[in-house]
Copies of this chain bind each other. A is one copy, B any other.
Amino acid sequence: MTEKRGPGGPIGFALSLVRILRGRPRIPTSLRSNQALGVILNRRSVRRFTQEEIPDEAFAAILEAGRLAPSTVNLQTWSFATFTLDAWQATLGGQIPFGARRAVTILADTNRVRRVLEAFRETPLVEHTVAVMNASIAAMNMTAAAEALGLSSVMLSDTGRSGLLDLDYLRERLALPDHVVPIMTVVFGYPGAGRPPMPPKLPLEAICFEGRYRETDPAVMEAWMAQMAAGYKASHPRSSLDAQLAHYTSKIGAAEAALRRMILAEEDDARPPSEAPL
């Protein structure tokens, strides 16, 4: 790691940055005139927004994309906590992260469907998995609709205490009943100046296979990790990916305990000591 050309050395760092900046969606030539495909493949997670307000009709269209998303057996196991700037201030305090103008906290919600269906009563992991699947699908469809409207967004699982890593906090603030699990917050706005580069994406060969599962080449994973670290350092010169991961790790234990309580109805002291919250 101390070699100049190694992933931790200055040349490795520069090479990783070059690789990040070269990242582009691969759109087959014959499909480049397809506007809707371009909207989908050119999406970026944006963390800088203008102060322009989102028209109510545009925000309504985003929510409609969530409402009409596909779901397992059409069960629609989601709820959306919607926020204007004022609603965020009143409910969570402060500003919507990154200066975004509207936000939606995505909840994996089987509370509603449990009132009319007995499907999931004794299978909490299947219930949770299905609910998270569907709610995530809805979140992506909202994000795609925002892109179509010229808006940008980013999905948050930690920033602003608005995602999976702050389960207990959000349950209290949003007065969530059992069987409603906050998984992320999507914040929306018009993109500010400076289009962010694509974060380092694994090549298609590393994530696709036909027939039997194929392990990813370790060299591909190492090059990717070097790009992840370099990209983080370049955008956060006073921090590091390792420091950020350590921050997540410090919260993941508490989130795990909350999930065990919420999904498996376990008491905190039922967990083995190694899984105690940090």
Contacts and interface: CB of A to CB of B under 8 A. Distances in A.
A68 B147 CA distance: 14
B129 A213 contact: no
B82 A213 contact: no
A215 B215 CA distance: 45
A125 interface: yes
A226 to B, nearest CB: 10
Q: How many copies of the chain does the oligomer comprise?
A: 2
A175 B228 contact: no
B65 A41 contact: yes
A100 interface: no
Nearest to A83: B210
A192 interface: no
A237 interface: no
Given A64-B41, A119-B245, A82 B210 contact: yes
Given A221-B116, A255-B126, A260-B125, A63 B204 contact: yes
Contact of A133 (B36, B109, B184, B225): B184
Interface of A: 25-28, 30-31, 34-37, 39-41, 43, 45, 57-58, 60-61, 63-70, 72-74, 76, 78-84, 87, 90-91, 109, 111-113, 115-117, 119-120, 122-126, 128-130, 132-134, 136-137, 139-141, 143-145, 147-149, 154-155, 157, 164, 174-177, 180, 183-184, 198-204, 206-213, 215-216, 218, 221-222, 224-225, 228, 244-245, 248-249, 252-253, 255-256, 259-260, 263-264, 274-275
Given A132-B133, A164-B126, A61 B74 contact: no
Contacts of A66: 207
